[in-house]
Structure 1
Amino acid sequence: MTHIIRPSRLDDLEAVYEMAKLTGGGFTNLPPDRDALTAKLEASATAFARPMDSGFGHDLFVLMLEDAETGKVRGTCQIFSHIGGELPFYSYRIAMLTTHSRELNRTFRNKMLNLVTDLEGSSEVGGLFLHPNARAGGLGLLLARSRYLFIAMHRAKFGEKLLAELRGVVDAQGNAPFWDGVAGRFFGMSFREADEFNALNGNQFIADLMPRNPIYVSMISEEARDAIAVPHETGRPAMRMLEAEGFAFENYVDIFDGGPTMIARTDQVKTIADTQTTTLAGTEPTGSTRALIAAGELTDFRCAMGRAEMLEDGTLALNAETAAALKLSPGDTLCWAPR
């Protein structure tokens, strides 16, 4: 069975909505709201329609994981080409302030949370969700890494830094201890209410109400402290995949749930750095090596995992099923990265 990654379409709304209802809250990029999801799909259609030479802009690309045999959507992910700008991108940066009293002969190291917009101008990968019935067979890896091949093939549309925000600690009732102990005290609303409002209306309310002064971590609740930079239990595999690609935690956390922000230099992301361009050979591979294969620009983009072999002349032999799913014929140009 072959699965492909393809650009989103407006008629993906119901499939995306059904997945959004399964996220369990705290998933800002995939709100269970038809109007918000329609706006995302429309923005994605606009982004895919912009020509290759249009350059670096505020684009949202939504990709879909589809069963090539049945046409059913099994997952989705998103790429934001440029964060910040008209709507600031806020983070908390963890800093340390050391003070010393000679009279007391004591040194204190105080951890602080500073509200910043340091990461503006970066690109972001996010919104990754895999249907619970499809969480096997490496489909999560395909979904995640397809974004990097897309970036490699459309490099001029993306920034020099790439980040990924991991969902923080949220309990079964949709409560976030970090929100309750920090930002929630200034907004008069629950985490779920703030998360839904942000997903539907943007984050200007943060700029309006969030205090600008540093917050001393020692002065917040123990539950809130323990949640700082800790990913949600369902996000730990995603964190490991990001680390394998070269992403690292650089002391930035989400202002809502305290989840860690992972950062990498775009050209140093492993899959992007490993991506090669070649042509499809007309022979079947003799080995069983698997690779990530992609072809097509923008609306024609397709990506899949297949059995491949690099031949002596530099072309790539690919199994027939994957080539057919990607609509490739011998002599066509493709991009690939080792599995």
Structure 2
Amino acid sequence: MTFVVRPATEADLPHLYEMAKLTGGGFTNLPPDRKALSAKLARSREAFRREGGPMADELFVLVLENTATHEVRGTCQLFTMVGQQHPFYSYRIGTLTQHSRELDRTFRAEMLTLATDLEGSSEVGGLFLHPGERAGGLGMLLARARYLFIAAHRARFAPRILAELRGIIDEAGGSPFWDGLAGRFFGMNFQAADEFNAINGHQFIADLMPKHPIYTAMLSDSARAAIGKPHPSGRAAMRMLENEGFAFENYVDIFDGGPTMTARTDAVRSIRDARQARVVALDGEGGEQALIATGTLSDFRCAYGNVRECGDGVILAQSCADVLGIGEDAMISHVGRL
């Protein structure tokens, strides 16, 4: 396989912009706006340049490159500590139980409460794979490469990690959740809010959204049905997160109602199970297929490859070594392919 995950650079802007135009809306971490994408790449460049030091509010952007054609065919992002510049708001789904003695009835009302419980967590997001490459496990490579990056830079990431999944978007490009709740307070449709949100962030929603709990029974049926549900294109991503140990703990996005998945960072499967080893030899394609990562910061690379243990080290497939640009005596981190 000729695909490798590597740090993004400013030269990747045209590729990222073209992919951003394919997302179909509601994909706030990959806006189809050159200025916003350029700002992300500049922020990512600074994060890759910083070595050591305390945790900070940083963004790392990775891309999936076909080393044979040098085309960028996917991307993903890592945020080290959310909610530092602006509060990181979520809606927490809760239940209020009340009992009437006179009626001899108990009422349970579901509510959405604005919360900043997840502030300070790390976040994995912005994963997008070009529609022409959605086969061969490339989405899995992109997703799990993020965890091997975290494992290689563990001190830069928080004890808890989250992933926000895009919510339901209807055929007209609207959001039932937005139309049924937030849209009533902002005087703008979802497409306009989506564009503003992608470029400027959703702090404007938090600023103007009512701070008191919202009773879901007062929302439309379509808005209520969208709460905590991922976009159809995100169902596979949700399953991948669950396989890694993430869980839905009743937090949803205040913008489109999509589910927020959370996990303890050290309990994420790919981080917990990653093993470090030295490459003692290169050969053909024998051994077990795994995700192989090497290098740190701007030298980080991750690809699929075959590996087998040999004494105190491992034997790595030559094809994988070529994609990663390493040879014998290199240090790698590897985790079995699911």
Q: What is the TM-score with the length of structure 2 in the denominator?
A: 0.98
1:116 Cα shift? 0.8
State the secondary structure of the residue aligned to 2:315. strand
Aligned to 2:308: 309
C-alpha distance 328-113 of structure 1, shift in aligned 2 (>3 A)? same
Which deviations, in whole Å up to 9, do the C-alpha atoms of 1:168-199 show, x marking residues without a partner?
10012210000100111111111121121122
Aligned to 2:98: 99
Aligned to 2:206: 207
Instruction: In structure 1, list runs of 5 or more residues that go unmatched.
Output: none
> How far apart in 2 are the matches of 1:297 and 1:184?
43
> How far apart in 2 are the matches of 1:208 and 1:293?
44
Aligned to 1:63: 62
8 A contact 1:280–1:329 mirrored in 2: yes
Aligned to 2:164: 165
> How far apart in 1 are the matches of 2:312 and 2:249?
39
1:166 Cα shift? 0.5
Letter in structure 2 aligned against 1:117: T
Letter in structure 2 aligned against 1:317: I
Aligned to 2:291: 292
1:202 Cα shift? 2.4
Runs of 4+ in 1 over 4 A off after TM superposition: none
1:66 Cα shift? 0.3
Letter in structure 1 aligned against 2:336: P
State the secondary structure of the residue aligned to 1:38. helix
Aligned to 2:325: 327
> How far apart in 1 are the matches of 2:34 and 2:261?
29
Aligned to 1:127: 126
Aligned to 1:18: 18
1:314 Cα shift? 2.9
> How far apart in 2 are the matches of 1:204 and 1:9?
27
Letter in structure 1 aligned against 2:25: G
Aligned to 2:44: 44
Q: Does 1:35 align with 2:11?
A: no
Aligned residues: 337
Q: Does 1:241 align with 2:240?
A: yes
Instruction: In structure 2, list runs of 5 or more residues that go unmatched.
Output: none
Which deviations, in whole Å up to 9, do the C-alpha atoms of 1:120-147 show, x marking residues without a partner?
0000000000001101111000000000
1:285 Cα shift? 5.9
8 A contact 1:246–1:264 mirrored in 2: yes
8 A contact 2:284–2:318 mirrored in 1: no
Residues 125-164 of structure 1 mapped to structure 2, 5 A cutoff: 125-164=124-163
8 A contact 2:285–2:317 mirrored in 1: no
8 A contact 1:285–1:317 mirrored in 2: no
> How far apart in 2 are the matches of 1:279 and 1:295?
10
Aligned to 1:219: 218
Output the aligned Cα RMSD.
1.0
Letter in structure 2 aligned against 1:19: M
Aligned to 1:54: 53
Aligned to 2:183: 184
State the secondary structure of the residue aligned to 1:174. coil
Aligned to 1:174: 173
1:247 Cα shift? 0.3
1:206 Cα shift? 2.1
> How far apart in 1 are the matches of 2:327 and 2:282?
11
C-alpha distance 286-133 of structure 1, shift in aligned 2 (>3 A)? closer
1:286 Cα shift? 6.7
